[in-house]
Amino acid sequence: MNKTLNDIELANFFRVTPRHIRKMAQDYGMPKEGLNQYDFVKCCDWRIKTLESELNESKHGTETEKKARIRFLIAKAMHEELSIAEKQKEIMLVSEFSSLIEKAFIAVKQKLLSIPKRLSTNLQSLSTTIEIENYLEKEIYKILLELKNVSNRK
C-alpha cells in the first residue's frame, strides 16, 4: 500500500518545510512520483538511508553528528511505526478521512432534516409536552440507530 503525498503532507511528516521537501527532491535525489507528488514509503526509505549516510560520514562526536543521529533514530522509528500500521491497515490519508466525515455529516443532516415532514402529522395528535418530547426522543433514537447500522455495514 504505497500512498502518494504532496509536499505539504510529506513536510508535516518529516517535520521540515515544503520548500525543504522540494529541495531534497531537486538537489539530493529524493524520489518523486510527479509534479509535487511523492511516494510516502519510497521517501521514508530514502530519508533513512540519507540520515544513515550522514552518520557514517561524520568521524567525530560533534554536535552535528549528535543531531544527525537523533534525526536518524526519529526517522527510523517513524518508518517502523508506518510499517506496523500498514500491516494492520490503520493508515488513512487525511483526504480519505475528510471524505468519510463529509459523507457521514451529509447522512446525519439528511436524516435530521427529514424529521419535521415525517413526524408533523403524528405530532398533531399528541396533546401534552411530555408526549411530544417522548415521541421526538424515540424517533431521534431510531434515526441514530439507523445511522449506526449504516456505518457498521461499511
Answer whether residue 1 shows pLDDT above 50: no
Q: For the whole prediction, is pTM greater than 0.75?
A: no
In this prediction, residue 91 carries a pLDDT of 62
Answer whether residue 147 shows pLDDT above 90: no
In this prediction, residue 19 carries a pLDDT of 95
Per-domain residue ranges for the chain?
A: 4-87, 94-153
- Write the pLDDT tens digit of every residue in 75-134: 877 777 777 666 556 666 677 788 888 888 888 888 888 888 888 888 888 889 898 888
User: Which own/partner pairs from 44-47 qualify as long-range (CB within 8 Å, at least 24 positions apart)?
Assistant: 44/75, 44/78, 44/79, 44/82, 45/79, 47/14, 47/75
- Using only C-alpha atoms, the chain has a radius of gyration, in whole angstroms, of 26
User: Which own/partner pairs from 51-57 qualify as long-range (CB within 8 Å, at least 24 positions apart)?
Assistant: 51/75, 51/76
- Write the pLDDT tens digit of every residue in 14-30: 888 999 999 999 998 99
Class of domain 4-87: mainly alpha
